[in-house]
């Protein structure tokens, strides 16, 4: 009888495998690659912003356009005769302004730092996409695996019910064994509906990053191997400063520092050079050159307040960086602790719980065949094995998702 059940399960698994062969399984690495190669708008917006800031920096580094002046000087108002007075002349002049101190170069450096911050924002978005893909793929894997295990268990219980029906027909079993199989099958049908709903939600999350066809095809049957991560919490914490979020804040702090330097430039005068040429009818033409200098005498309060405001904004960004690092450190400690506990529980399940559940199911089946156990006990043993298998898969998925979050925080060890 055991051989019959094993053969039936083998045929069922073979049919499931044949259906899966019709589609190429999607691995986690392939899903991540598809997502990273896609031109995601959330990443492109940061790249466009960085390019715009670089162009703006080059624009602000250029000198202001010169100003040209054309006019008439010393025109007699009595008759407006341009030839009567010797001082009457047509004038043409050019004026070039020069901004205060190193304002132009500091503006360029500020925009460059802001562009760097925007690029780090793009890297941060890419890291978030990679994490989201890994979490969505792993969640989809769990529900696909849960669906397969539940259907296998349902098939096993149905086959056991057929054996119970045959035994009832010969008078060896009671009728309630036959009724019990309908109840357990209905319960598993309900569980399958819930699993399918969760699977559809997980696939919908995965579709955000890969094509719908790829998200709904079978996943590789083996659990994926994620890149290596630091084994010690201290080593992982030292890598937090390399996170794109922190690098983005570092660039923002640098940009704020440039704004402080720009505010300090307001203490320095701006100046301009002007050259002119006068055309006269009867006398020699004239030329003039002048230098105009701003004298910041009456705006000291405005300049002092501008510098103070720039320094406070820089201090605020520094505090924001510190707060972000502190929160990331807390997240890392929580995920490390969670990963360690999940790994320990996973080992316990693999070496003890699953083996005991399998042994119990086999022992109850043998006892049932020898009429030493009832059908209800046989079904309970089969469902207990299913629950243990699902719990083990869930532990593996939770551990891998935790590892993915750690990799997001500290990066992948090369």
pLDDT digits (tens, 9 = 90+) for 172-230: 555 566 666 777 778 888 999 999 999 999 999 999 888 888 888 889 989 999 998 88
Rounded Cα distance between 63 and 42, Å, is 35
Tell me the Ramachandran region of residue 53: left when phi exceeds 0, alpha when psi lies from -120 to 50, beta otherwise: alpha
pLDDT digits (tens, 9 = 90+) for 339-371: 999 999 999 988 888 889 888 888 887 887 777
Higher pLDDT, 237 or 379: 237
3-state secondary structure at position 100: coil
123: nearest Cα among 26, 40, 232, 182: 40
59: nearest Cα among 118, 110, 120: 110
Rounded Cα distance between 36 and 29, Å, is 11
Reported as a pLDDT band with limits 50, 70 and 90, residue 21 is very low
Q: Provide the pLDDT for residue 20.
A: 40
Contact 69, 92 (CB under 8 A): yes
Q: Provide the pLDDT for residue 216.
A: 84
Residue 264, pLDDT above cutoff 60: yes
The neighbour count for residue 379, using CB atoms within 10 Å, is 25
- Hey, what domains does the chain have and what are their CATH numbers? 30-410 (1.20.1600.10)
pLDDT digits (tens, 9 = 90+) for 271-310: 899 998 888 877 788 888 989 888 777 666 788 888 999 9
pLDDT digits (tens, 9 = 90+) for 69-111: 898 887 787 776 777 777 778 889 999 888 888 889 999 999 9
pTM of the model: 0.80
Average model confidence (pLDDT) across the chain: 84
pLDDT digits (tens, 9 = 90+) for 36-48: 888 788 888 999 9
């Amino acid at each position: 009888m055991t051989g019959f059940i094993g053969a039936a399960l083998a045929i069922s698994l073979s049919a499931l495998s044949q259906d899966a062969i019709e589609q190429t399984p999607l691995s986690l690495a392939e899903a991540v690659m598809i997502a990273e190669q896609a031109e995601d708008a959330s990443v492109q917006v940061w790249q466009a912003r960085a390019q715009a800031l670089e162009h703006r920096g080059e624009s602000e580094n250029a000198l202001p356009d010169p100003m040209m002046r054309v006019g008439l000087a010393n025109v007699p108002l009595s008759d407006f005769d341009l030839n009567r007075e010797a001082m009457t002349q047509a004038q043409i002049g050019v004026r070039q302004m020069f901004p205060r101190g190193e304002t132009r170069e500091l503006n360029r450096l500020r925009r460059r730092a802001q562009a760097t911050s925007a690029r780090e924002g793009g890297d941060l978005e890419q890291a978030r996409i990679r994490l989201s893909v890994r979490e969505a793929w792993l969640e989809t894997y769990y529900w696909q695996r849960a669906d397969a295990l539940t259907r296998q268990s349902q098939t096993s219980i149905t086959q056991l019910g057929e054996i119970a029906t045959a035994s009832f027909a010969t008078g060896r079993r009671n009728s309630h064994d036959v009724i019990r199989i309908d109840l357990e099958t209905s319960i598993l049908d309900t569980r399958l509906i819930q699993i399918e709903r969760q699977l559809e939600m997980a696939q919908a999350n995965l579709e955000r990053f890969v094509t719908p066809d790829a998200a709904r095809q079978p996943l590789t049957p083996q659990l994926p191997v994620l890149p290596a991560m630091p084994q010690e919490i201290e080593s992982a914490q030292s890598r937090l400063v390399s996170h794109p979020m922190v690098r983005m804040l570092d660039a923002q702090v640098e940009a704020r520092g440039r704004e402080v330097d720009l505010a300090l430039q307001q203490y320095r005068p701006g100046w301009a050079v002007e050259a002119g040429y006068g055309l006269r009818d009867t006398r020699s033409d004239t030329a003039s050159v002048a230098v105009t200098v701003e004298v910041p005498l009456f705006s000291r309060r405005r300049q002092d307040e501008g510098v103070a405001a720039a320094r406070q904004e820089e201090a605020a960004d520094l505090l924001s960086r510190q707060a972000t690092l502190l929160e990331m450190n807390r997240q890392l400690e929580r995920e490390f602790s969670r990963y360690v506990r999940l790994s320990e529980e996973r080992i316990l399940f693999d070496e003890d719980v699953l083996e005991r559940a399998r042994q119990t199911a086999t022992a109850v089946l043998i006892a049932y065949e020898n009429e030493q156990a009832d059908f209800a006990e046989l079904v309970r043993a089969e469902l207990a094995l299913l629950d243990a298998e699902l719990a083990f898969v869930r532990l593996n998925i939770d551990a891998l998702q935790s590892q993915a979050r750690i990799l997001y925080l500290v990066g992948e060890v090369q």
